[in-house]
Amino acid sequence: MVVRIPIIDIMLNICAILFFAVAFAYVLPIYRKRKSMTALILTILDCCAIIGSGIALSGSFIPQSEGVLITYFNRFLQYLMLLLLLIYIDSVMRDRIDAIKLVVAFTLMGFNTAIDTVVLVYPLYDITQVSQIELIIQVGVLLYVLLSLVRVAFLIFKQSPDVMKRDARWVFTGSILSISFAFFSAYPISIPTSQGTYNLWLAGILNSISFLFISYGFHKSPELMHVLPFKAVRLSVINTQAGIAIYTHTWQTSEKMVDDDLFSGMIQGISMIVKESVGKGEVKELLVDQGVFIFSRDVSHSLAFVLVASKSSKILRDSLSKFGTQFVIKFEVNLLNPTEVSQFSTATDLVNTFFPYFS
């Protein structure tokens, strides 16, 4: 006979709520400061998890026979959290969310929720075959999401700069731990007692620890959220009046780099042709087959800041703009004699500050 030990369930759920709350406290400031989609998704996930643990906690005080509605809400939250995890994975992997993937996820979520509603409203209605399909969908989606979560965390760890490896390890460890959530959701630990067998469900507490580790890693290095969607090749600061590149930084790449002077001449030529031909102002971005040139300018100091990357994104544009502002502040005196390019070599510190997610 299966028995319940409410005190253990209560303690586990309280611990889970505390861990989720700490994870929430880790990621909320990231969103408030950076307006990051990834941080927003993690914040919402933590909120859903806190609500789910709260519902599970309330179930410890209610007889099993009266806990059908609680089970229904908990399963709905689980579907919602799986959907949010898919969005989280997409937000880390790319600059925009895949609309097709969202439609498929919403459809599957709606199907499962409909089946659960039918079971709740019409408990005597026989939907055995449909329930089996629902179970297959649940298992398939869960495995896909969790394996994708681990894959993304591994890629973050692999591509993160050395200074962030330690924090990326927290994200990776938390993602691996999430796999245990799937196992213990299906298989509890059976503990024999004098009154019967007590099933110890560890899924909730393990899930909260997983979220805590992931959130802590991003809290320590928020830049890890932007390691994967793109890569940068080159950053150049061009004095448009003299027509020379006064500073150039290249990231590790196997591609052959164009000479600095040739590069600056090419950029100025393209900008001039577009400006004269179109007459609509300066070039902001220049898209090519396998990359993009992102521009930022300081007209008062005759400077153009050019970033060559795999694709454009808001985080790159903002970083380039902030880099340009601080570059002018740091080298305002040196800009009076821009031909002495060696005096700008310390701008590497600014690169590490505003582009820390590129190794």
Is 213 in the same domain as 255?
Answer: no
Q: Whose structure tokens read 């090519």?
A: 288
* 240, part of any domain: yes
**What average pLDDT does this structure show over 98-118?**
71
Query: Residue 249 pLDDT more than 70?
Result: yes
Confidence at residue 251, expressed as pLDDT on a 0 to 100 scale: 79
The CATH number assigned to the domain holding 83 equals 1.20.1070
Confidence at residue 273, expressed as pLDDT on a 0 to 100 scale: 47
Confidence at residue 53, expressed as pLDDT on a 0 to 100 scale: 87
- pTM of the entire structure? 0.72
CA torsion sign, 324 to 308 to 171 to 94? Answer: positive
CA trace torsion 87, 90, 92, 95 (10° rounding): -110
For the ranges 167-171, 178-182, 235-239, 288-292, the one whose mean pLDDT is highest: 167-171
Is 271 in the same domain as 220?
Answer: no
* 123, part of any domain: yes
* 359, part of any domain: no
Number of domains making up the chain? 2
The CATH number assigned to the domain holding 256 equals 3.30.450.70
| Residue 80: Cβ-neighbour burial (10 angstroms; 0-12, 13-18, 19+) | middle
**In which element (H, E) is residue 301 found?**
none
Is 242 in the same domain as 322?
Answer: yes
Q: Which residue has the higher pLDDT, 10 or 64?
A: 10
Is 163 in the same domain as 64?
Answer: yes
* 126, part of any domain: yes
Range of the domain at 267: 232-354
Is 215 in the same domain as 236?
Answer: no
Among candidate residues 85, 231, 255, 96, the one with its CA nearest the CA of residue 158 = 231
Is 128 in the same domain as 87?
Answer: yes
Instruction: Give the chain's radius of gyration (CA, Å).
Output: 26
162, 193, 226 — which closes off a domain? 226
pLDDT one-digit tens code per residue, 164-186: 889 999 999 999 998 887 777 76
CB 82 within 8 A of CB 141: yes
* 59, part of any domain: yes
* 218, part of any domain: yes
Q: Describe the strand order of the beta sheet including 244-250 as a list of residue ranges.
A: 244-250, 232-239, 303-309, 291-298, 285-288
183, 200, 226 — which closes off a domain? 226
* Rounded CA separation 298/300 (Å): 6
pLDDT one-digit tens code per residue, 18-45: 999 999 999 999 999 877 888 999 999 9
Q: Where are the alpha helices (DSSP H) in the chain?
A: 6-34, 37-59, 68-93, 99-121, 128-159, 165-186, 203-220, 260-278, 314-330, 348-354
Q: Specify the 3-state DSSP secondary structure of 218.
A: helix
Is 154 in the same domain as 264?
Answer: no
197, 226, 255 — which closes off a domain? 226
Task: Please enumerate in sequence order all residues whose Cβ is within 8 A of that of 18, keeping only pairs 6 or more positions apart, or say none.
Answer: none
Is 213 in the same domain as 282?
Answer: no
Is 255 in the same domain as 177?
Answer: no
CB 303 within 8 A of CB 295: no
| Residue 201: Cβ-neighbour burial (10 angstroms; 0-12, 13-18, 19+) | middle
Residue 262's alpha-carbon distances to 183, 259, 267, 268, 295, in angstroms, are: 58, 5, 9, 10, 17
Is 197 in the same domain as 299?
Answer: no
On average, the pLDDT of the chain sits at: 79
* 208, part of any domain: yes
* 214, part of any domain: yes
Is 222 in the same domain as 238?
Answer: no
Q: Which residue has the higher pLDDT, 37 or 74?
A: 37
Is 32 in the same domain as 168?
Answer: yes
